[in-house]
Amino acid sequence: MNAVVDDKEIGRLIIRTHPRARKIVFRTKSDAVYVSVPPGISLKEINRAVEELRGRLVIARRQISRPSIDLDYKIDTYFFQLSLVSGDTDCFFANLKRGIWRLSVPVKPTLRTRNCNIGCVR
C-alpha cells in the first residue's frame, strides 16, 4: 500500500509498504512524515497509530526546520565550494573559478526575469 494522506496538524503523511518491516515506523523529514508499514496492514491500523502518536509527531515536525539561506550560507564539498555574495545588479549571477562557486545575489531579489540581460540565471 502506497498512499499520501494530508493531515491538518501533522502535514503530509507518505505511507509506504516495506516488505521487511515488522511494525509501523514514522520518520519525520522536512517535507513530510514518512510511514513505513509491514505488508498486510490496514489503513485503519495506521490511523490508530497516528492518533496515538499525534502529539509526538506534531512536536517532531516543529523541530525539523529548513536551514535559512543568507549571505553567510556556505557549502563545502570535496569538489567545490559554494558561497553567496551580495551583488549590485538586478539578477542572480554564478561564477566558478578554481573550484569556488560564487553566487551573486541582488540586494532586493525578485523572481521576475524580464529585466535580466544575457548571463542571468533564468
Whether residues 36 and 82 fall in one domain: no
Torsion, Cα 72 73 77 82, to 10 degrees, reads -80
Distance CA 110, CA 90 (A): 8
Could you tell me the residue range of the domain that residue 29 belongs to?
A: 3-63
Q: Are 7 and 29 in the same domain? A: yes
Beta strand pairing call for 25-28 and 33-37: antiparallel
Look at phi and psi of residue 14 and say left if phi exceeds 0, alpha if psi is from -120 to 50, else beta: beta
CA neighbor of 4 nearest in space, from 42, 43, 15: 15
Q: What is the pLDDT of residues 51-70, one digit of tens each?
A: 999 999 998 888 886 667 77
Same domain, 103 and 78: yes
Q: Is this structure's pTM higher than 0.85? A: no
In the predicted model, what is the mean pLDDT of residues 82-105? 85
> Both 8 and 53 in a single domain?
yes
Is 75 found in the same domain as 51? no
> What is residue 111's predicted lDDT score, i.e. its pLDDT?
57
Banded model confidence at residue 4, pLDDT cuts 50, 70, 90: very high
* Per-chain mean pLDDT for the chain: 84
Res 52: pLDDT: 95
- For residues 15 and 52, state if they share a domain: yes
pLDDT value at 100 more than 70: yes
Verify that 58 and 75 share a domain, yes or no: no
Give the per-residue pLDDT at 63: 84
Q: State the total domains in the chain.
A: 2
Return the pLDDT at 67: 65
